[in-house]
Amino acid sequence: MLSLMAVDDDPLSLDLVQDALALMGLHILTALNGAQARRVFAKSRPQIVILDLMLPDVSGLVLLSEILQMAPDTDVILLTGHYTPESAVEAIRDGACDYLTKPLKIGALRARVKELIHDAQQRQQALRLEGELLEANRFQGMVGRSPQMLALFALIKRVAPHFRVALVRGATGTGKELAAQALHASSPAATGPFVIANCSAITETLFESEMFGHMKGSFTGATNDKKGLFEAANGGTLFLDELGDLPPAMQSKLLRAIQQQEIKPVGSTATKKVSVRVVAATNRPLEAMMRTGAFREDLYYRLSMVEIFVPGLAERMEDFPFLVRHFVAQFAADYGKKLSGMTPRAQALLARHDWPGNVRELENAIGSACMMAYGEFVDEQDLPPFFQRQAGPALITAPPAGVELLSLELLNQRHARAVLEHFEGNKSKAAKVLGVTRSTLYRLLGEG
């Protein structure tokens, strides 16, 4: 039987939790302060903890980190007095799986705990798979060996068992969709569907019908009942691609569906319950868009509880040889050619490019080279003309050792991103270390 510990210095609030969860088949333990909570936790190891952030003897965040230290798998829901997205976001980064605001709504608490029970049961199975998933230099189909990518794999593994919503950010072609798939495949919903909704391709009028479905006859052309993408993703993950392209009016409808896990098809009066994990992706500067009202803050705060940055290829050239090998093998199989790899000089020519189109651009270049190749190894003359030596003097004059030919702006941007990466996306900490304001940091990151 799963057990749950509720920690709160207010006995009435503990009673409320006990009553609300009484019939869910859980063993419920309670603690009135941090010291009691530590004893109860150490003795009974509950799988789920509901933790008030404000305790008399110890900060809830400290207790959270102690609990996760002892048992990283624990699902911890935080209770916060006021709506404080910043501290909640921080807590989620520290490993809490969600937060609820006080006064507690019994329905929301029950729904959340029910999901956690389900997840805890499935986690056992996911854990068994995990060992098989992490081969060398590769995680769930993503190739990578740089510290940034290893950190990204670790982050995905850490949040995948718990997340309900996540936001994947990064420049074009960096692998955002792949990261979203990795999140899904490592989550308890891995056996459910992974449904892609492209927010930039959906017109405003058709958006609701696409997302939430419609009833026959609800508008001209609605000749049949139609299931929306939310329903199609039930029990799995909905990938909202290019979310930054969605108009604000649609954003609020989306937020409601995400938060309430409930949809209303166009032309229907009844709502339907769904259970959908949502991963959104964008390369747009959401912070700047929020300032102009083009992106809704409430949606951003909901999604950014788990925020994953996929770094540009130029910032992680350690991955380059592994990606080259991966793509050569992939295209060799696609084209049915016997290709063993790429010659070092061809690879060196490719490595001089700065890859603004990131991994997708590299994939395309290698795809074309593999098509041209007739030897066992892809060589210089197989590369697209742009990369060959005669393409221009800039490509053959090597810079002095340890110097990369890049602008100060790009250098600043890379450094700012590296520092941000180090703090796992915590912008306040990164800004402090860089000695700049948060808004300067956004500008440095190219998001301002």
Ligand X SMILES: Nc1ncnc2c1ncn2[C@@H]1O[C@H](COP(=O)(O)OP(=O)(O)OP(=O)(O)O)[C@@H](O)[C@H]1O
Residue 70: CB minimum distance to ligand X, A: 33
Binding-site partner at residue 13 among Mg ion, ligand X, none, CB < 5 to 8 Å by type: none
Residue 235: Cβ within 10 Å count: 12
- Treating both helix axes as pointing N-terminal to C-terminal, what angle do 408-422 and 427-434 enclose, rounded to 10 degrees? 130
Residues forming the site for Mg ion (CB under 5 A): 177
Residue 104: CB minimum distance to ligand X, A: 38
Residue 348: CB minimum distance to ligand X, A: 21
Closer to ligand X by Cβ: residue 161 or 175: 175
Residue choice 174, 186, 209, 234 for contact with ligand X (CB under 6 A): 174
Closer to ligand X by Cβ: residue 76 or 142: 142
Closer to ligand X by Cβ: residue 30 or 174: 174
| HSE-up of residue 227 (Cα within 13 Å, Cβ side) | 8
Give, as ranges, the residues between 122 and 151 that touch ligand X (CB under 6 A): 142-144
Residue 211: CB minimum distance to ligand X, A: 19
Give, as ranges, the residues between 355 and 384 that touch ligand X (CB under 6 A): 359-360, 363
Does position 244 bind ligand X by CB under 6 A?
no
Closer to ligand X by Cβ: residue 174 or 304: 174
| Site residue total, ligand X (CB under 6 A) | 16
Which residue, judged by CB position, is nearest to Mg ion in the bound state?
Answer: 177
Instruction: Determine the Cα–Cα distance for residues 326 and 138; give it in Å rounded to an integer.
Output: 10
CA dihedral 424, 427, 433, 437 (to 10 degrees): 170
Residue 319: CB minimum distance to ligand X, A: 7
| DSSP string across 104-120 | PPHHHHHHHHHHHHHHH
Closer to ligand X by Cβ: residue 113 or 306: 306
Tokens of residue 417, six digits:
């991103």
Residue ranges of E strands in 252-306: 262-263, 272-273, 277-282
Closer to Mg ion by Cβ: residue 177 or 318: 177
Does position 167 bind ligand X by CB under 6 A?
no
Residue 138: CB minimum distance to Mg ion, A: 20
Residue 180: CB minimum distance to Mg ion, A: 8
Instruction: Determine the Cα–Cα distance for residues 90 and 427; give it in Å rounded to an integer.
Output: 11
Amino acid letter for position 397 = T
Binding-site partner at residue 178 among Mg ion, ligand X, none, CB < 5 to 8 Å by type: ligand X
Interaction pattern, residues 276-315, with ligand X; x per rule: CB under 6 A: -------x--------------------------------
Question: Pairing state of beta strands 142-143 and 272-273?
Answer: unpaired
Residue 95: CB minimum distance to ligand X, A: 25
| DSSP string across 178-247 | HHHHHHHHTSTTTTS-EEEEETTTS-HHHHHHHHH-B-TTSSTT--S-B--HHHHTTTSEEEEETGGGS-
Closer to ligand X by Cβ: residue 41 or 309: 309
Instruction: Determine the Cα–Cα distance for residues 294 and 220; give it in Å rounded to an integer.
Output: 30
Binding-site partner at residue 318 among Mg ion, ligand X, none, CB < 5 to 8 Å by type: none
Which CA distances in Å does 183 have to 147, 189, 285? 19, 10, 22
Closer to ligand X by Cβ: residue 177 or 447: 177
Q: Do 156 and 308 meet the contact criterion of CB atoms below 8 Å apart?
A: yes
Cβ-proximal residues to 386 (8 Å cutoff; 6+ apart), any chain: none
Does position 176 bind ligand X by CB under 6 A?
yes
Q: Which residues bind ligand X (CB under 6 A)?
A: 142-144, 170, 172-178, 283, 326, 359-360, 363
